[in-house]
Amino acid sequence: MEKPLTQHIKNDNTWLSLKDYEKTGGYQALRKALKLNPEDVTKEVKESGLKGRGGAGFSTGMKWGFVPLGEDVPTPKYFVVNGDEMEPGSFKDRLLLEGNPHQLLEGMIIGAYAIQAQFAYVFLRWAYHQAARAITRAIEEAYEAGYLGKNIAGSDFQLDASLHVSVGRYMCGEETGLLNALEGKRANPRSKPPFPGVSGLFGKPTVVNNVETLCNVPHIIANGAGWFKSLSKTDEGGTKIYGASGRVKKPGLWELPLGVSLREILQEHAGGMQDDFQFKGVLPGGGSTDFLTGDHMDVTMDYAGVGKAGSRLGTGTLIVLDDKTCPVGMVLNLERFFAQESCGWCTPCREGLPWTAKTLEAIENGKGEMKDLDILNFQTRYMSPGNTYCALAPGAMEPLQSALKYFKEDFEKHIHEHKCPWKKE
């Protein structure tokens, strides 16, 4: 795959080259980090409050701190970038990968230094062809400039990196499923413990971080934890790339202070609803989050704020539901996706998701019964957190359980009228 990627690179200048990145101060944070002890780099990132931007929202510095340091620990260690981005409605990492690949690489190298890793991988979904070309070229440039390989930037630190283009399944977004795929196995989740920080890729200490998460790291090291925290409207620290898709006037992505309101994102940045469409609800963090409604417009879009409202910040990419789109059909579309993407490793997910999709399909096609609503509510409990091997099925239940809560009348109308009210005869 390397040869066709390289052939296309010379004619594609849409991303920031190494030379241009260095003009903006690129790789100065890496030089600064290499003068610090690895533990101090981890401490700075931990104090910044940076949380994982891929959906889980776990402390990045804490995750790095789980990796043992010293001469007696197993080697080699691995640092892995999760660029799979298969979450429905999410497209933020693609923008970062295609536009500024060196920012990602710098964050990755700093993270690898913090845990003293010897090898790094950028794990990318197959469909991101332009991103693959950008990362391939950026890695080549980094090697040529001495930011990868031996004696990085004149230090004793050594790191080799490569791109891994995966066939791309949703399960690869789960870090242990990703590691299995990287090892050439099925992308099934692993039992925890042991956690990847102790036994990850090929049984060695490993860290897996999201693309957006790592793109924050160079700026934290360059400017300090205090500076990063000051960018946020909350105590969680930093900025966030928010996105919006659906019937809004200006769908897109915006980097904003963490903690802006849902109202600001939708009305000011996304331009409000398109003409002749009314807001009905929104999935605030991708397809595997609970709906919020018009009553939640002043919710702060941070991890705590969205959590208090009964959903999750997730990826921060909003999927907007309008009044002319059937909520049952929308949820059905999501459940079909999750059922297809289940790895089949555990029974609740393997059997429950297709059952859920078929039940919703019956309701959408006018063949539903009132008892089907009880079945769907049972499924949301049957596949709740703690009842499945990983978070795929519980995430799949979030849009469903909240749709049953906020749009129950729409489900009942389908059943009573024996048709979808949104479909024209």
Please choose, from the candidates 326, 322, 335, the residue with its C-alpha nearest in 3D space to the C-alpha of residue 396: 335
Domain count, the chain: 3
Are 10 and 99 part of one and the same domain?
yes
Q: Do residues 29 and 155 share a domain?
A: yes
Range(s) of the domain holding residue 14: 2-230
In a domain, 148, yes or no: yes
Cα-Cα end-to-end distance for the chain: 49
Give the residue among 124, 147, 285, 143 at the shortest CA–CA distance from 210: 124
Q: Is the pLDDT of residue 176 over 80?
A: yes
Within a domain: 410: yes
Residue 422 lies in a domain: no
Number of Cβ within 10 Å of residue 286's Cβ equals: 28
CATH number at residue 358: 1.20.1440.230
**Which pLDDT does position 13 carry in this prediction?**
58
182, 251: one domain: no
Assess whether 122 and 199 both reside in one domain.
yes
pLDDT of residue 15: 83
**223 Cβ partners below 8 Å, 6+ apart?**
none
Task: State the CATH number of the domain containing residue 281.
Answer: 3.10.20.600
Could you give the CA distance from residue 309 to residue 398 in angstroms, rounded to a whole number?
Answer: 13
Q: Of the residues 264, 296, 322, which one is the last residue of a structural domain?
A: 322
Of 178, 199, 230, the domain-final residue = 230
For β-strands 252-257 and 239-245, DSSP reports them as antiparallel
| DSSP H/E element including 239 | strand 239-245
- Give percent of the chain above pLDDT 90: 91
Q: What angle do CA 123, 100, 111 make, to 5 degrees?
A: 55
Looking at the structure, do residues 100 and 136 belong to the same domain, yes or no? yes
Whether residue 282 is found in the same domain as residue 265: yes
DSSP notation for 249-276: SS-EEEEEETT-BHHIIIIIIS-SBPTT
Cα distance between residue 282 and residue 302, in whole Å: 15
- Across the range 336-347, mean pLDDT stands at 94
Looking only at Cα atoms, what is the longest distance across the chain? 73
Each residue's pLDDT tens digit, 8-50 = 333 455 788 999 999 999 999 999 999 999 999 999 999 999 9
Averaged pLDDT, 365-389: 95
Residue 354: cis peptide before it, omega within 30 degrees of 0: no
Mean pLDDT of the 206-226 span: 97
**210 and 81 housed in the same domain:** yes
The residue from 322, 337, 354 where one domain ends is 322
189 and 217 both lie in a single domain: yes
Q: Is residue 110 part of a domain?
A: yes
Residue 374, pLDDT above cutoff 70? yes
- Is 425 among the domain residues? no
> Is residue 144 in a domain?
yes
Model pLDDT, residue 425: 60
Q: Please give the torsion angle defined by the CA atoms of residues 42, 45, 49 and 55, in that order, rounded to the nearest 10 degrees.
A: -90
Whether 311 and 402 have beta carbons less than 8 Å apart is answered as yes
Asked if residue 424 belongs to a domain, the reply is no
| Domain identity same for 286 and 335 | no
**Same-domain pairing of 245 and 184:** no
Helix (H) or strand (E) segment spanning residue 63: helix 60-65
What's residue 237's pLDDT? 87
Give the position of tokens 């789960």. 174
pLDDT at residue 14 in the model: 76
pLDDT at residue 167, rounded to an integer: 83
CA Rg, the chain, in Å? 22
Q: Is the same domain home to 68 and 199?
A: yes
Burial readout 385-394 (b: 16 or more C-beta within 10 A, e: otherwise): eeebbbebbb
The closest of 52, 45, 47 to 285, measured between CA atoms, is 52
- Flag whether pLDDT at 7 surpasses 80: no
